[in-house]
Amino acid sequence: MTKNSNVSKYKMANTLILVTKEKEKEQRTEFGLFLAAKNSMTWGTVLCVGSGEKDYTMNTSVGCRAMFSTLQATEVTLDGVEYYVLDDKNVILTEKS
């Protein structure tokens, strides 16, 4: 079992999905200065999906990786672990596992 196995007790509403918060790579100059992120796009693994809405087919499923903008996601902490919650409609790209 992974540290994310405790999310099975949660149920997402409608088209919302719960995604892992992957650690971002630090970018430094040759002098050791940290650079600000160039964009807000990130990847995460989908851990929990809502039931969807009438006339809408969910694009994600549990276990797939999703690319999304962190500007359209909400950071949440559940049981001491940080995650993103976002609408399935805001996922830009998926990678099936």
Question: In this structure, what CATH number is given to the domain that contains residue 91?
Answer: 2.30.33.40
For 44-56, the pLDDT digits (tens) are 999 999 999 888 9
- Is position 3 within any domain? no
Residue 14 confidence (pLDDT) above 80? yes
Say whether 39 sits in a helix, a strand or coil: coil
**Domain total in the chain:** 1
β-partners of residue 34 are: 28
Residue 30 confidence (pLDDT) above 80? no
Task: Name the average pLDDT for the chain.
Answer: 85
Quick one: pLDDT band at residue 1, thresholds 50, 70, 90? very low
- Is position 84 within any domain? yes
Using a 10 angstrom Cβ sphere, with 0-12 exposed, 13-18 middle and 19 or more buried, the burial of residue 78 is middle
Q: Residue 17: which domain range?
A: 12-22+40-95
Q: Position of tokens 């995650």?
A: 83
What percent of the chain is modeled with pLDDT above 90?
Answer: 49
For 55-77, the pLDDT digits (tens) are 898 999 999 999 999 999 999 99
- Is position 5 within any domain? no
- Is position 28 within any domain? no
Mean pLDDT to the nearest integer, 78-97: 92
